Chain A
């Protein structure tokens, strides 16, 4: 048997839809979600003859902003190009995109990869090749009709319906170098990217709504002691439209390729689509020939020239990014990595926490305590005002100091009465601990801080 070990080599193309008011090259509304079909269209985004595209200034600034947040260089000159192919979702027969002079290039993004074995985080840097701007395509719906088809071997007429509302919505494409070595790293990167564009407030990046899409290209290379083998194929996977599918699709594809390589076959260079129903990737050979895009400069759009001043103005508009906020939270509020990570996951929670800390200072309530409550009690920050939260914490602080001995007694009793839950918890079911905590709270005559109690019981049951 072939015992060669293989290492995944994965690169990523991510598309992010910008949330501008208007489209990329015309004044139609870009907010197409759930709207009546073909009601956000005009001669430009329908590709009617003679219509001229004019770039949306805000979309270009936001693309620069994304580039800067990803540590890219912003060349002072940029231009648009035509990417030519025929498909019904592309009314002009080409997509306006950027080829050799993208808005941003040569960036990087630092990831923290959890290592289960070593129980720590490893830092890894993914290089970003380029960030460019383009227009989205129309939306296609494939349908079977109830008319008899004229096509041989096809029982009923099969057709596609086109809605051009999405045609021309600004799309930022972020292309990484092939630096990923596992599906886990890809997921971390996507989460991070999503977090950054949301912090920048330039996209909602909701994968289920198609506001963030990814196309990994996947290969395997042999690991030999001496050197890395050169890879001579690359498989592109499309149709991954949910966070839940990312890992499954990539892992499936890696396994498929490994099996081929072990039989000493080379996987075919091709485009494959993830089929969620079948739980596998399926060849989409029909898309192959279209890869000859014959890019050429878009003659209808004059080049874009930035001044250094404009770029630094855009840079100044960028507020604290998630990774900076996380470090500051650790330093300023004495939080550990875990807490700081949860609190900075989205900006709303981070702002809420800081507001509560400010108010809490007047009540001698430590940031760490507030962090515990916000995280462990899963406070609904949309309905509880920070000030109200502080009042709650302050009053529970007064009551929870009821004799420690009484609490100890109740805990022992609950633990004795529920051997099954204790056992479950020791087997790794964290729900069982929450059950026990709940029982203690019920028995305890006064209000008690659940987070503190949980920590205490955790220690006790270790």
Chain B
């Protein structure tokens, strides 16, 4: 309700001030002797900005601080001894008053002081809301008044609006950067806490992963060797790439060089559908269909293949990545200038000779970039490996046996009773940080290579 009222106020302010700015400058423009610097639309937008932004600032400040003000107001209504309560009890007391005020029931009979406090609080709430609304409206009106006084033929409204647009866009990209930074910092600080329990050398070079060796708090923290997990991740990614790169690349070549329009229009969307399947679906596809199939096939030829294994997870992950590789390579091959292809065909090279000798070498850097991006996806992929890799964090080199990955271990460490002071949980942050560093490195490399490739043809 309150949110609706605020939105309505802002909307009214917006349209009204836009209208004022627009019509005032229109009137000036009508006066032929004066030449307006900016078109009326810019004056309108500028007036609207002057009115709405200050109002939004007022509402924003209230939203930020109202909680604290409200709480101390409630405490003031309650008997003086409430202030002596512990932080947690105080919060509970405040919550009770709020609940009574809003008409929800509370456990037990509310005391008389509580009921009174709730009544006072309810009216306080209404008044403060109206006050804020009035303040916002007043500030908005003030802004509008000032803005419309500034309107004149020489006012560079267009330039000012442009400045505002630039700031707004900058703020949006700042949000992305700040969140990334925040995530990295929190990962980093928790990882550091983990390293206060476990020697980083034991983590990065340890070959045994056994975090629940003894339950938390009994002294021994367990063993946290990263290598078995890292190896599982690497092995599964390699298998996935062995599946995805040849198939994806060749289907891209077929679609871009051989297939005619009609085939392309049918096949391309179908391949893209693969990309739209949720990874959890791939996961149980691997668990229910592919894994047992591999096990049976292994039996038939006398090889011991486990149903949940690096092989199963890798192959299914490869299938998931095919559309990624094929659509990226398709774009990259399409970027090789047609003149290059024509030059080769014009010399009497066949289509496949042209692809092998000219197109692929020219597109190679871009394709390498695409593959690196795909690898970083494979490394971060979770659902498929949780279900299909077997969850067996032991250093093994046979892909037909179960394994585990960095992502799976993060899931294991954080599900269930996570106590964020024990190394058992904190290790997840160290693992996450490792994963992040790996994918970041791969992405940076890939982007660098792809950019180099683009420059080649500019």
Does A associate with B in a complex?
no
A residues contacting B by CB (< 8 A) are none
